[in-house]
Structure 1
Amino acid sequence: MQKLTPFLISCLLVFGVAACDNASKTAESAPDPSEAPTAPTAQTTQAAQQDAQSEVRRRQLDADIRAREQRNNVTGGDTDRATGDLSSQVRSKLEANIPKGQLTVEAAEDGTVTVAGTVNNQQELAKIERLAKEIKGVKAVVVTATVAPPTR
Structure 2
Amino acid sequence: MNRKVVSSFLIGFVVVAVGACTEARTTSDAPTSTDQKAQTPIAQSTEPAKTDAQSDTRAKQLDADIRAKEQRNNVMGNPPSRNDNDLASEVRSKLEANIPSGNLTVSSKDAVVTVSGTVSNLEQLTKIQKLAMEIKGVKSVTIKAVVATKSN
TM-score (norm 2): 0.64
Distance 2:150 2:59 in 1: 22
Matched, 1:121 2:121: yes
The count of aligned residue pairs is 108
Residue 149 of structure 1: CA displacement?
4.3
The one of the two structures with greater contact order (alpha-carbon pairs below 8 A, sep at least 6) is: 2
Q: Tell me which structure has the larger Cα radius of gyration.
A: 1
Q: Tell me, what secondary structure is at the counterpart of 1:136?
A: coil
- Compared CA separation, residues 131 and 46, structure 1 to 2 (3 A): closer
Identity of aligned residues (%): 57
Structure 1 gaps, min length 5: 1-41
Distance 1:88 1:117 in 2: 16
Distance 1:129 1:46 in 2: 23
- Compared CA separation, residues 47 and 138, structure 1 to 2 (3 A): closer
Distance 2:49 2:149 in 1: 20
Structure 2 gaps, min length 5: 1-43
TM-score (norm 1): 0.64
Distance 1:47 1:116 in 2: 20
- Compared CA separation, residues 53 and 81, structure 1 to 2 (3 A): same
Matched, 1:106 2:107: yes
**One-letter amino acid of the structure 2 residue matched with residue 124 of structure 1:** Q
